[in-house]
Structure 1
Amino acid sequence: MEFEQFIDHPSGFLALSPHNQRFTVTNLPGFIAYREQGQHWISFGGVHAPVDARTELLRQFLTQAQQQRRKVLAVQVRQNQVPLFQQFPATINQLGSNFSLSLKNYNLAGTRKMKLRHKIKQAQQAGLHVVEIGAELPKDEATFAQLFEISNHWLAAKRKKELNFMIGEIGTPAETQRRIFVTLNASNQPIGFITYVPAWGERPGYLHDLTRRLPNAPPGAMELCNIRALQRLQAEGVAWLHFGFTPFIVEAPELPDANRIMARLVRWLRQYGRVIYPAASQAAYKLKWGIDSIEPEYIIGFPLSFRAIWDLLVLTRSL
Structure 2
Amino acid sequence: MVSAVSTEDPVLRAITKHSAAENPSSFLALNSGNLTFTAPGHDGVIVYRRTGRFAVQFGGPFAGTDDYDTLLGLFLEHVREQELQLVGVQLQRTDGEAYARRGFTVNQIGASWAVRVPDLTLKGTRFMQLRNKISRALRNGLQVREVDADSYGEALSTIDDAWLGSKGGSPQLEFLVGQIGGSVQKLRRLFVGSIDGAPVGYISYSPVYGTRTGWMHDLSRRIPAGSPGLMEAINAHAIEVFRGEGVEWLHFGFTPFTGLDEKNELPGHSTSFQWLMHFLWAEGAALYPAQTQLAYKQKWAPDLVIPEYVAFQDGPSLAGFAHIFRACKAF
CA distance in 2, matches of 1:284, 1:301: 29
The reply to whether residue 145 of structure 1 matches residue 157 of structure 2 is no
Q: TM-score w.r.t. structure 1 length? A: 0.94
Aligned-partner Cα distance in 2 for 1:20–1:214: 29
1:54 CA drift (Å): 1.1
Q: Which residue of 2 aligns with 1:285?
A: 296
1:180 to 2:190 alignment: yes
Question: How far apart are residue 173 of structure 1 and its match?
Answer: 9.0
Letter in 2 for 1:236: E
Name the counterpart of 2:305: 294
Task: Give the Å deviation of 1:172.
Answer: 5.1
Where 2:119 maps in the other structure, the secondary structure is: coil
User: Secondary structure at 2:187's aligned position in 1?
Assistant: coil
CA deviations on 1:62-105 (whole Å, 9 max, x unpaired) are: 11111111111100001132221122010001111000111123
8 A contact 2:134–2:233 mirrored in 1: yes
Measured after TM superposition, the shift of residue 157 of structure 1 is: 0.4
Write the letter of the residue equivalent to 2:270.
Answer: N
**Matched AA of 1:169:** Q
Give the one of 253, 256, 263 matched to 1:244.
253
Counterpart for residue 168 of structure 1? 178
Match of 1:3 in 2: 14
Q: What is the rounded CA distance, in whole Å, between the counterparts of 1:71 and 1:57 in structure 2?
A: 17
Q: 2:75 aligns with which of 54, 57, 61?
A: 61
For residues 191-237 of structure 1, give each alpha carbon's deviation from its aligned partner in whole angstroms, at most 9, with x where no partner exists.
00000011111111111000100011101111000010111111111
Q: Percent identity?
A: 35
Q: CA deviation at 1:111?
A: 2.1
| CA displacement 1:119-158 (0-9 Å, x = unmatched) | 1111111111101113xxxx535x1111011011101101
C-alpha separation between the residues in 2 aligned to 1:270 and 1:125? 35
User: Separation in 1 of the partners of 2:218 and 2:129?
Assistant: 23
Secondary structure class of the residue paired with 1:154: helix
> What is the aligned partner in structure 1 of residue 327 from structure 2?
315
Distance 1:272 1:53 in 2: 41
Residue pair 1:140, 1:173 contacting (<8 A) in 2 also: no
The CA distance in 2 between the partners of 1:38 and 1:309, in whole Å, is: 13
CA separation in 2, counterparts of 1:228 and 1:46? 33
Mapped partners of 1:125, 1:93: distance in 2: 46
Where 1:73 maps in the other structure, the secondary structure is: strand
Alignment match of 1:258 (pick from 246, 269, 280): 269
Q: Alpha-carbon deviation of 1:174?
A: 7.6
Amino acid at match of 1:180: L
Which residue among 293, 299, 306 is the counterpart of 2:318?
306
Distance 1:302 1:173, change over 3 A: closer
CA separation in 2, counterparts of 1:244 and 1:56? 29
Report the Cα distance in structure 1 between the residues aligned to 2:207 and 2:55, rounded to whole angstroms. 26
Contact 2:202 2:231 in 1 (8 A): yes
TM-score, normalised with respect to structure 2: 0.91
Given residue 299 of structure 2, which amino acid in structure 1 is its aligned partner? K
What are the equivalent positions in structure 2 for 1:1-319 lying under 5 Å apart? 1=10, 2-4=13-15, 5-7=17-19, 8-134=22-148, 139-141=149-151, 143-159=152-168, 160-171=170-181, 175-185=185-195, 187-253=196-262, 254-303=265-314, 304-319=316-331
Contact 1:250 1:267 in 2 (8 A): no
Structure 1 residues 264 and 176: alpha-carbon distance in aligned structure 2, compared to 1, 3 A threshold: same
8 Å contact from structure 1 (residues 144, 173) kept in 2: no
Alpha carbon RMSD of aligned pairs, Å? 1.5
C-alpha contact 1:198 1:207 (8 A) present in aligned 2:
yes
In 2, Cα distance between equivalents of 1:286 and 1:125:
23
Secondary structure of 2:186 counterpart: coil
In the alignment, structure 2 segments of 5+ residues that lack a partner are: 1-9
Q: CA deviation at 1:60?
A: 0.9
Q: Is the 8 A contact 2:96 2:310 kept in 1?
A: no
The whole-number CA distance in structure 2 between the counterparts of 1:194 and 1:241 is: 13
